[in-house]
Amino acid sequence: MTRSPVWHPFTQHALEPPAIEVTRTEGAWLETRDGRRLFDGIASWWVITHGHRQPHIMAAIRTATENLDQVIFAGFTHAPAEQLAHALVRLAPAGLEHVFYSDSGSTAVEVALKMALGTARARGERRDRIVVMEHSYHGDTIGAMSVGARGVFNAPYEPLLFAVDTIPFPVAGQEQATLDAFEQVARAGRAAALIVEPLVLGAGGMLMYPPAILAELRRIAAATGILFIADEVMTGWGRTGTLFACDQAGIAPDILCTSKGLTGGAIPLAATLASAAVFDAHYSEDRARTFYHSSSYTANPIACAAALANVEVWQAEPVAERVATLARRQRQQVEALAGRVPLANVRTCGTIAAADVPGAAQSYLAAVGPRIRQHCLQAGVFVRPMGNVVYLMPPYCTTEAELDLVYGVLEEALRAVAA
Ligand SMILES: *Cc1c(COP(=O)(O)O)cnc(C)c1O
C-alpha cells in the first residue's frame, strides 16, 4: 500500500504502528478492516456516552438532513438550535441562561475566555488575568493551551502562550493550599476568571478532587468578583455520575463549556453557556460591546438535531441508572484488579476508573503506556494510557460481561509489562 498522506493527532509517526482502519462501530465496539472487534475502552477519546451509533441520534441526523444543512447563524436561526438551547438551559446548573454555539471543546473554551474578558472590560474593570489549576487541560488552540498545563505538548508554542496565575492541584490532605492560593490571587484584584475542570482533570492524568473543594473555589470566586468557568467538556453528560460534575458540588458556574458528549459523541458540536450577567455585560446599544466571535459552523443544524436527540435519549431511557451501574462496576473492578496486580492511587469518579502503574516513569512519555496499549490491542481491547496512568472510560452501554473481559485483558497486560 502507498504511504498514507494522513497526519494523525497526538501520533509520532516515526514510532507508532500504522493506524488501524475502522470500518464499522456498534455499541462499545470498533470493527476493523482486518476483521477484528476492539472494545472501545476510552469511548473514542471520551466522546461516546451511550454507545456508538446510538439509534435515536443516528435517526435524528438522517431526518435533519432532509431539510437543513449549514445556515448562517448571525441574523438567522433554526428550530434545532432554538430547541436545544432551551433544553440546555433547563438541564444545566441554575442561572445559565444563554447558549453560544461553536464546534469543539477548544472553541467552547476560547469563547468562555473571551466572554470573561469582554465582561470585565464592559464593566470597566481592570481584570485581565485568568486563574488556572495546575495539571489542567482545556484544549489545543493557542488560548486553550495558554490556560492549560505547560509541558512537552506545547513547548514549541510557549512564546505565544499568555501568562496565567496557577493555583496548585488540590492534592488529598493539602486542599487548603489550593484555596489559600486562590484567595491570594483573588485579593490582587486582576483576575477576570478562574477556569477549572470540575472534579476530574482528564488529560492531566485523570486526577480527581472532591466536590467540596469545587464548591469552595466557587464560593471564593463569587466573593471576590471573579467569574467561574466550568470546563465540562469531558465531565459533562454523565461521565462523573451526574449530568454535569458541578451538580455534585451543588454549584452553578458563571460560564460552562460543553462538547464531547453533547451529541452523544456522534458529530462535533460545542456550547458555551453563560449567566444573564455575562450576557448583559455585552448587551448594549454600543456596537463595540458586541461579542465578536463566530465559527463558520456555529450551531450546525445537523449537529444540533443530534444533540437534541441525545437529550431525548437521556429523558426516554434510564441513562442515569446505566451510569450509576457502570460507576459501581468500575469501582468494584478496579479495586479487585488492584488486589491482583500492583497499582497505585486507584481512583474512580462516576464512570471513570484510573490508577498509576507503580515503578514506571511518571511522565506522559513513559514507555509503559504504549506497551500496555499494544498488549491490550492484541487481545481485542483498546485502551490508551497517559504515561503511567491507566484508565478506563467506556460507553454507558458496556455490560458486566464486557467489563469482565476488559479487566481480564488489562490484568494480563499489566503482568506482561511488569515482567
Ligand atoms: C477534550 C477537552 C477539551 C478540548 O476539546 P476538543 O473538542 O478536543 O477541542 C477541552 N477541555 C477538556 C476538559 C477536554 O477534556
- Check pocket membership of 106 for ligand 1, CB cut-off 6 A: yes
Cα-flanking dihedrals φ and ψ of residue 273, to 5°?
A: -95, 140
Torsion of CA 335, 247, 277, 144, to 10 degrees: 20
CATH number at residue 246: 3.40.640.10
Q: With beta carbons less than 8 A apart as the criterion, state whether 19 and 30 touch.
A: no
pLDDT tens track for 325-360:
999 999 999 999 999 999 999 999 999 999 999 987
- Check pocket membership of 393 for ligand 1, CB cut-off 6 A: no
Cα-flanking dihedrals φ and ψ of residue 76, to 5°?
A: -130, 160
Cα-flanking dihedrals φ and ψ of residue 60, to 5°?
A: -65, -35
> Do 186 and 286 have their domain in common?
yes
Residue nearest to atom 10 of ligand 1 (CA): 138
- Burial of 419 from C-beta contacts in 10 A (0-12 / 13-18 / 19+): exposed
- Check pocket membership of 232 for ligand 1, CB cut-off 6 A: no
Question: Ligand 1 centre and the CA of 390: distance in Å?
Answer: 19
Q: Which uninterrupted H or E stretch holds 207?
A: strand 207-208
Question: Ligand 1 centre and the CA of 42: distance in Å?
Answer: 14
**Given 269, 294, 316, which residue is the final one in a domain?**
316
Say which residue, 243 or 359, is predicted with more confidence.
Answer: 243
- What count of Cα atoms within 13 Å lies in the side-chain half-sphere of residue 382? 20
Residues of the domain holding 153: 58-316
**Given 266, 291, 316, which residue is the final one in a domain?**
316
Segment 116-135 shows an average pLDDT of 97
- Check pocket membership of 231 for ligand 1, CB cut-off 6 A: yes
Beta strand spans in 252-351 (E): 255-258, 270-275, 344-349
> Do 238 and 366 have their domain in common?
no
Cα dihedral sign, 330-332-333-336: positive
Residue 221: what pLDDT? 98
Could you tell which of 132, 137, 200 is best to mutate to test the pocket of ligand 1, judged by most ligand atoms within 8 Å of the CB?
A: 137
**Of the candidates 225, 230, 237, which has an alpha carbon nearest to the alpha carbon of residue 201?**
230
> Do 289 and 214 have their domain in common?
yes
Residue 244 lies in a domain: yes
> Do 101 and 237 have their domain in common?
yes
Say which residue, 365 or 39, is predicted with more confidence.
Answer: 39
> Do 310 and 323 have their domain in common?
no
Residue 74: what pLDDT? 97
Q: Which atom of ligand 1 sits closest to the CA of residue 234? A: 15
Cα-flanking dihedrals φ and ψ of residue 131, to 5°?
A: -100, 135
Question: Ligand 1 centre and the CA of 10: distance in Å?
Answer: 14
Say which residue, 17 or 209, is predicted with more confidence.
Answer: 209
Cell digits of residue 350: 462516576
Question: Which residues 6+ apart lie within 8 Å of 281 measured at CB?
Answer: 118, 119, 122, 123, 289
**pLDDT reading at 364 higher than 70:** no
**pLDDT reading at 57 higher than 60:** yes
Q: Which atom of ligand 1 sits closest to the CA of residue 140? A: 9
> Do 73 and 138 have their domain in common?
yes
Residue nearest to atom 5 of ligand 1 (CA): 105
Task: Say what percent of the chain tops pLDDT 90.
Answer: 95
Residue 367: what pLDDT? 82
**pLDDT reading at 1 higher than 70:** no
Residue 9 lies in a domain: no
Cell digits of residue 308: 437534541
> Do 91 and 74 have their domain in common?
yes
- Check pocket membership of 39 for ligand 1, CB cut-off 6 A: no
- Identify any residues that bridge with 33 across adjacent strands, giving them in sequence order: none
- Check pocket membership of 137 for ligand 1, CB cut-off 6 A: yes
> Do 93 and 129 have their domain in common?
yes
Question: Which residues 6+ apart lie within 8 Å of 404 measured at CB?
Answer: 333
Q: Which atom of ligand 1 sits closest to the CA of residue 45? A: 1
- Check pocket membership of 259 for ligand 1, CB cut-off 6 A: yes
Segment 157-164 shows an average pLDDT of 97
**Count of structural domains, the chain:** 2
**Given 316, 347, 370, which residue is the final one in a domain?**
316
Indicate yes or no: pTM above 0.75: yes
Question: Ligand 1 centre and the CA of 202: distance in Å?
Answer: 9
Say which residue, 295 or 39, is predicted with more confidence.
Answer: 39
Residue 173: what pLDDT? 96
- Check pocket membership of 204 for ligand 1, CB cut-off 6 A: no
**pLDDT reading at 265 higher than 60:** yes
Question: Ligand 1 centre and the CA of 266: distance in Å?
Answer: 15
Residue 118: what pLDDT? 97
> Do 238 and 258 have their domain in common?
yes
pLDDT tens track for 85-123:
999 999 999 999 999 999 999 999 999 999 999 999 999
- Check pocket membership of 197 for ligand 1, CB cut-off 6 A: yes
**pLDDT reading at 362 higher than 80:** no
Q: What span, in angstroms and rounded, lies between the C-alpha atoms of 349 and 208? A: 7
- Check pocket membership of 138 for ligand 1, CB cut-off 6 A: yes
CATH number at residue 370: 3.90.1150.10
